[in-house]
Structure 1
Amino acid sequence: MTMTPHTSSSAAIDAEALARLQAWQGRSETLADELTATPVRALAATLDRDDPAPGQGARLPELWHWLYFLPHHRQSEIGPDGHAKRGGFLPPVPLPRRMWAGGRLTWEAGNPLVVGDAVERTSTIASVSHKAGRSGELVFVLVRHEVRNARGLALTEEHDIVYRAAPAPGEAALAPTPASKDAAFSREIVPDDVLLFRYSALTFNGHRIHYDRRYVTEVEGYPGLIVHGPLIATLLVDLLRREKPEATLSKFEFRAVRPTFDTASFRVHGRPEADGKSFRLWAEDADGWLTMQATATLA
């Protein structure tokens, strides 16, 4: 879960402001990259995996495409929180916090992403919508990504981004959801500074909430460093890979529910569904609260 602060006061999203943001709908960009082996080796080490060296043609594990198409904003374009300044491809939503709230991914049968592929990702702003709820104003931005290699479409991803207002002083937090206790397999994760730093480095993520303890506690007011949402999602899929090493996925859906901090270890869990092809996956913090839930479908 990644949240972005904004130093100015947030403005209300009225009809005129929403219309300006919705002008971004349909905007697209295409980036090119090559699926090189070095990031694969580095993430395997970060996840404490003893994988063989990834040679040319080795299949890229699911979600590891997040190691590529990285942001390359110039240093002068970076805001005080470590993220790029607002505007550009994403609409300039005037709400102070941004969260990678979840996503849905589909891998094309017979066309895996492999080391050595030259790839292109086309990203399109599919929708911008507004809602006022118990926690204040929310703006939802849906980004659709299509990743292609020389053989055609390989992966489709829908990426949910939620912008929200900062909590008012004394505002009560939403009630957390207890995590399910019926796991069939689990793993404990210790989110220490090194793990979070390495993942930030691998994904070229400069957001200070993941590595700058003074900033996240004194400026953001959180109790500790925030574990990256994509890292937790990757750990959920990694848990399934450890349980079923030969399995590949056709679909994966996940939703972030609650922030996870580095102040204590957390656990990732999994359980097969009755159909034998899908698995329920979830993450639980040290207090027993649900932090992420997901469903993985085998190919």
Structure 2
Amino acid sequence: MTTGPNSTFHADAAGARATMVLRDRVDPWQVAALHATLGRPGPAPAEGEALPPLWHFILFREARPRAELGRDGHPKLGGFIPDFGLPRRMWAGGRLRFHAPLKLGQEATRTSTILDTALKDGRSGRLAFVTLLHRVEGPDGLAVEEEQDLVYREEHDPNGPPPPKAPDAPAGGEWMTEMTADPTLLFRYSALTFNGHRIHYDLAHATKTEGYGGLVVHGPMLAQLMADLARECSGRALAEFSFRGVSPVIHTQPFEVCGAPEGDGAKLWIRAPGGRLAMKGEARFA
């Protein structure tokens, strides 16, 4: 067992079922800072009010010392998540269920468990898939259940095959807003989530080491923008939300956050330049 200022990590005797517990406070200042960073309309939620869905992404940050970070700025593997020998990390998607609201000012706990790991050979080389289960609880009990999909990849090979062409995003969209993520937005989101991943703020690392066309817009931020669009345009609360990244959005590229109601929920997507699909999501309303 290892512990930090706000965390506990435990692996069972077989080492097969690791669990990490992180504790945090839903800080009204942090929520106001995220509200300002994303340019949300109206006043920020105040103490005692409900935290909007997916905004818990700014909570439960690991305060690791620099000596425990990998080359990419993320915590080194081999503790909670096994070390697969694959250095490049990507948050590929997730599925969330909302049971009760977290309120600003409350204390909260996130218990994380590794549900599954798998090694596969893909077009670009070896891949490791990790699925985590996060259970977020507040004073009123279970608030959020979240399954998070992570992918680990081999080093970027500049002479390797180009990435496959992304599919086209749906045309139109009953709901739509346009954005461009500049370096200031990426820096502020990284700071609020305490995300040290260098692809979001270190241009040389993103382009030369990782092979991207620029700084990469955070996948969870794109998911958060889709969830906010569904909630604000429908005027309804979310019961479930899922998303999957398809292709990266680069900081110099304007992109569109789109959606349309469907049945008791909505389809959402991120449309990148040229009509390329960057992310897709689905919401079910309460």
Fold in common (TM above 0.5)? yes
Match of residue 84, structure 1, among 71, 75, 80: 75
Letter in 2 for 1:255: R
> Could you tell me which of 164, 169, 187 is aligned with 1:179?
169
Q: Distance in 2 between matches of 1:83 and 1:170?
A: 25
The runs of 5 or more residues in structure 1 that have no matched partner are 1-22
Identical residues among aligned pairs (%): 46
The one of 39, 43, 54 equivalent to 1:52 is 43
Change in CA separation of 1:24 and 1:193 when aligned onto 2, cut-off 3 Å: farther
3-state SS, counterpart of residue 173 of structure 2: coil
Question: 1:130 is paired with a residue of what secondary structure?
Answer: strand
Q: What is residue 122 of structure 1 aligned with on the other side?
A: 111
Are residue 285 (structure 1) and residue 285 (structure 2) matched?
Answer: no
Aligned partner of 1:197 in structure 2 is 187
8 Å CA contact 2:102, 2:143 repeated in 1: yes
Establish whether residue 224 from structure 1 lines up as the match of residue 211 from structure 2: no
8 Å Cα contact 1:25/1:128 also seen in 2: no
1:37 and 2:24 aligned: no
The alignment status of 1:262 with 2:251, answered yes or no, reads yes
Residues 287/219 of structure 1: CA separation in 2 closer, same or farther (3 Å cut): same
Aligned amino acid, residue 170 of structure 1: G
1:253 alignment counterpart:
242
Shift in Å, 1:53:
4.2
Alignment gaps of 5+ in structure 2: 1-13
For the Cα contact (< 8 Å) 1:77–1:84, is it kept in 2? Answer: yes
Give the superposition deviation at 1:280: 0.2
Aligned with residue 146 of structure 2, among 139, 154, 157: 157
Q: Where do 4+ consecutive residues of structure 1 move more than 4 Å?
A: none
Instruction: Tell which deviates more after alignment, 217-226 or 162-171.
Output: 162-171
Matching residue's letter, 2:253: A
Q: Which has the larger displacement, 248-257 or 159-168?
A: 159-168
Task: Provide the rounded CA distance (Å) in 2 between the counterparts of 1:207 and 1:263.
Answer: 18
Counterpart residue type for residue 34 of structure 2: L
- Which of 204, 207, 215 is the equivalent residue of 2:205? 215
**Residue of structure 1 equivalent to 2:130:** 141
Q: CA deviation at 1:198?
A: 0.7
The total of aligned residue pairs comes to 272
Q: Which amino acid is the alignment partner of residue 193 of structure 2?
A: T
Q: Distance in 2 between matches of 1:164 and 1:218?
A: 16
String of CA shifts for 1:69-117, please: whole Å, max 9, x gaps: 0121012222232222222111112113211010000011xx2111122
Residue 279 of structure 1 aligns with an amino acid whose one-letter code is A
Report the Cα offset of residue 167 of structure 1.
Answer: 4.8
Match of 1:73 in 2: 64
More strand by percentage: 2
1:24, distance to aligned residue in structure 2 (A): 5.3
* 1:172 Cα offset (Å): 2.9
Distance 1:78 1:98 in 2: 13
Residue by residue over 1:4-40, the C-alpha shift from the partner in whole angstroms, topping out at 9 and shown as x without a partner, is xxxxxxxxxxxxxxxxxxx754110111111110111
Which residue does the alignment assign to 1:19? none
Equivalence for 2:225: 235
Deviations 1:192-217 (A, max 9, x none): 11111110111011111101112222
Per-residue CA deviations over 1:110-157 (Å, capped at 9, x if unaligned) read x21111221111000111112223332221111001011111111100
